[in-house]
Amino acid sequence: MAVTLEQAQRVGYTCLKALLRFAFMVANNLVAIPSYVLYLIVLQPLRILDSKSFWYIEGVLFKWLLAMVASWGWWAGYTVVEWGDDVKAVSEDEAMVLVNHQATGDVCTLMMCLQDKGTVVRQMMWLMDHIFKYTNFGIVSLIHGDFFIRQGKAHRDQQLVLLKDHLEKYYRSRNRKWIVLFPEGGFLRKRRETSQAFAKKNNLPFLKHVTLPRLGATQVILKTLVVPQENGTPSGGDAVRKESKSKGLQWVIDTTIAYPKAEPIDIQTWILGYRQPTVTHVHYRIFPVKDVPAEPEALTNWLYQRFIEKEDLLTHFYETGAFPPPQGQTKAISREMTLSNLWLVAIQSFAFLSGGMWYCLFQYLYHCLF
């Protein structure tokens, strides 16, 4: 079929826009990430003298970096509509966020929709596949204290021990409050067939839109971060009480991401912007951690039930274009998540000005020394 002039122009415009966006992203990374690292190197004396202030500043810089990533999608028209419980109400408490995983764009979506949730982004810890350690953002996540988990049976037990040690060493010492993980252990398209075979073998529900979650990381997080209570106060002595002023982990936020027509956005699309403007839908349901069972079998069943509910939510969404209303209500209420373009321009400008400042500083030092 012959290509019309109008179609050719549209393709040409899309390619040019993608090229310009990619060039901007590369330039953004070349100034923002080194600037983040250099600021924190300069601030190392503060880390020794006042660790709390150091990690506060690091958290602000980290939030700005994630906002820059969010801006790439926001300016391409990839927006978010939120449903279910209002997580802003628990943004100052400690929470574990359980998310279904469909594509690399899931992380970008969370970077966007958590930006307006108070201090959450600067005080959050991510659990992500170890491969992300070797991406351009890996150095940032390493400094921030995120945990890179290696998948596969051969590594599973060791990784859970390392996760426990990581949480004990970094979570409260850096004043973290939210921890985000993807319990399915991989993308939907990669795990669906294996999950369905496991479900059939063990007489579990047949799931199409999510996969059965894995227990390990969730159990370690609950055991490590939930503060045991005795008569309403933390048990375990003065050390535990001092470290647990925030009452420990208080909430589990079950988060379900849905894309129109079940077509997820990947990181390439997020960067290049060649897909038409798309609204991603995010549903939250908040559970008090005291209602989450601790025993492995009961916790497994509880976790399975959450993903069975996700299956129902996504089935309803793909059929109707909306999430169902909460139990006992007749209408589901959605909230359009917004970002300030002025704020996004300001932090992008700060990144490029910082890059220019560091460049001039190193040029000056070079001429002084040589």
- Alpha-carbon span 334 to 312, nearest angstrom: 18
Assign 3-class secondary structure to the chain: CCCCHHHHHHHHHHHHHHHHHHHHHHHHHHHHHHHHHHHHHHCHHHHHHCHHHHHHHHHHHHHHHHHHHHHHHHCCCEEEEEEECCHHHHCCCEEEEEECCCCCHHHHHHHHHCCCCCCCHHHEEEEEEHHHHHCCCHHHHHHHCCEEECCCHHHHHHHHHHHHHHHHHHHCCCCCCEEEECCCCCCHHHHHHHHHHHHHHCCCCCCCCCCCCCCHHHHHHHHHHCCCEECCEECCHHHHHHHCCCCCEEEEEEEEEECHHHCCCCHHHHHHCCCCCEEEEEEEEEEEHHHCCCCHHHHHHHHHHHHHHHHHHHHHHHHHCCCCCCCCCCCCCEEEECCCHHHHHHHHHHHHHHHHHHHHHHHHHHHHHC
Phi and psi (nearest 5°) for 133?
-60, -25
pLDDT for position 50: 96
pLDDT for position 232: 45
pLDDT for position 227: 79
Angle, vertex CA 77, rays to CA 123 and CA 95, nearest 5? 20
pLDDT for position 229: 60
Q: Is 210 exposed, middle or buried (0-12, 13-18, 19+ CB in 10 A)?
A: buried
Contact status, residue 87 vs residue 113, Cβ threshold 8 Å = no
pLDDT for position 235: 41
Q: Domain limits of the chain?
A: 5-227+247-369
Q: How far is CA 186 from the centre of its chain?
A: 14
pLDDT for position 45: 97
- Alpha-carbon span 10 to 13, nearest angstrom: 5
Tens place of pLDDT per residue across the chain (370 aa): 566 777 777 888 889 999 999 999 999 999 999 999 999 999 999 999 999 999 999 999 999 999 999 999 999 999 999 999 999 999 999 999 999 999 999 999 999 999 999 899 999 999 988 888 888 889 999 999 999 988 777 777 899 999 999 999 999 999 999 999 999 988 999 999 999 999 999 999 999 999 999 999 999 999 999 977 644 444 433 433 444 455 899 999 999 999 999 999 999 999 999 999 999 999 999 999 999 999 999 999 999 999 999 999 999 999 999 999 988 788 888 999 999 999 999 999 999 999 999 999 999 888 888 8
Predicted TM-score (pTM) of the model is: 0.90
pLDDT for position 253: 97
pLDDT for position 240: 38
Residue 101: name the closest of 142, 151, 59 by CA: 151
